[in-house]
């Protein structure tokens, strides 16, 4: 599903940033994908998807961003 319409970012894009690129914060997500940099309506949803993805990564012990921390 689309999370950020302004930047054409989907939940899969966010999950990929977490699992492949080690993103762990909204700031990193904003810098990498541009999420929440225009109208800002996606911020809450993006934060929820990010938290879900981090929780899934932590449970699977496969999260590069958390391993480095
Ligand atoms: S929907 Fe993400 S900045 Fe507008």
**CATH numbers and ranges of domains, the chain:** 2-64 (1.10.10.1100)
Instruction: Note the pTM of the prediction, 2 decimals.
Output: 0.90
Residues touching ligand 1 (Cβ under 6 Å) are 4-7, 35-42
pLDDT of residue 60: 83
pLDDT-derived band at 67 (thresholds 50, 70, 90) equals low
pLDDT score recorded for residue 45: 98
Give, for ligand 1, the residue of 5, 31, 47, 50 to mutate: max count of ligand atoms closer than 8 Å to Cβ. Answer: 5
Instruction: Report the nearest-CA residue for atom 2 of ligand 1.
Output: 4
pLDDT in tens, 3-44: 999 999 999 999 999 999 999 999 999 999 999 999 999 999
Residues 6+ apart with CB under 8 A from 62: 19
Share above pLDDT 70 across residues of the chain, in percent, rounded to a whole number: 96
| 62: pLDDT strictly greater than 80 | no
């Amino acid at each position: 599903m689309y999370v950020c319409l302004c930047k054409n970012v989907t939940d899969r894009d966010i999950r990929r940033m977490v699992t492949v690129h080690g993103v762990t914060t909204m700031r990193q997500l904003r810098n990498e994908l541009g999420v929440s940099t225009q109208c800002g309506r996606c911020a809450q949803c993006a934060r929820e998807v990010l938290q879900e993805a981090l929780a899934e990564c932590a449970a699977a012990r496969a999260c590069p961003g958390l391993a480095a921390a």
